[in-house]
Amino acid sequence: MENDGRRKFLGVCLAGATAAAAVAAGYPVIRYLGPRSSETSAEKLVFTASDLPEGEAKFFEYAGASAVIVKTKTGELVALSAVCTHLGCIVQWVKEKQHFLCPCHAGEFATDGSVLSGPPPRPLAKIPLTLTEGKVTIG
């Protein structure tokens, strides 16, 4: 009986030591493989407004993901996430129709990001922008 207790105690100690060793070895590996925080931080981006003609769109990377800024035919500037809300493909700018088309499943978005047709469940996320002295600041 006493022997059984000792055996159980040693078993628990061994299991504990093994678990501790697994954590000690696993933690650095998870940290090593984890995404780098600096790459996902949102930094401000500055464009010259005149670089973008009316009716055109410009794609760029923002906060570690694809984004787009579009100047509508009325001269309004809109910055949106370029990631389709359906399955994460990158939308394309269709200049002729002045809207965004997702090439994966034909989802269509208006220049304000709202869904025009197709499977996307939500509008494209808007990114704040400010326009001062001809400079567009994203973020």
Partner 1 sequence: MFKRLYRWLDLRIGAGQIVEKELTGYLLPRNINEWYSLGSVLLVIFALQVVTGMLLMVYYVPDADKAFQSVTFIMNEVPYGWLIRLCHAVGSNMMVAVLILHMLSTMIMGSYKSPRELNWVTGFILLTLVQAISLTGYLAPWSQLSFWATTVATNSASAIPVIGPYLVEFLRGGKLVGPPTLGRFFALHVAILPVVIAALIGAHLFFLKRTGVSTPPFGVDETDKPFKPESYSYQSHPGGIPFFPNYALQDLTSIFIYFAIFLAVVFFAPNMPFTPDSFVPADPFKTPAHIKPEWYFLANYQTLKIFPSELLGLSVQAIAMTFLALLPFIDRSPERHPMKRPLFLVCTAAGILLWIGLTVWGHFS
Q: Which residues bind partner 1 (CB under 8 A)?
A: 28-29, 31-34, 36
Give least dist CB 34 to partner 1, A. 7
Give least dist CB 35 to partner 1, A. 11
Ordered strands of the 45-48 beta sheet: 45-48, 135-138, 129-132
Rounded alpha-carbon distances, angstroms, from residue 52 to 36, 48, 70, 77: 32, 8, 8, 9
Q: Return the number of the residue (28 or 121) whose C-beta is nearest partner 1.
A: 28
Rounded alpha-carbon distances, angstroms, from residue 26 to 8, 14, 118: 26, 18, 43
Give least dist CB 38 to partner 1, A. 9
| In 2-125, beta strands by DSSP E | 45-48, 57-62, 65-71, 77-81, 92-94, 99-101, 108-109, 115-117
CB 125 within 8 A of CB 113: yes
Give least dist CB 62 to partner 1, A. 22
Q: Return the number of the residue (3 or 132) whose C-beta is nearest partner 1.
A: 3
Give least dist CB 73 to partner 1, A. 44
Q: Return the number of the residue (36 or 73) whose C-beta is nearest partner 1.
A: 36
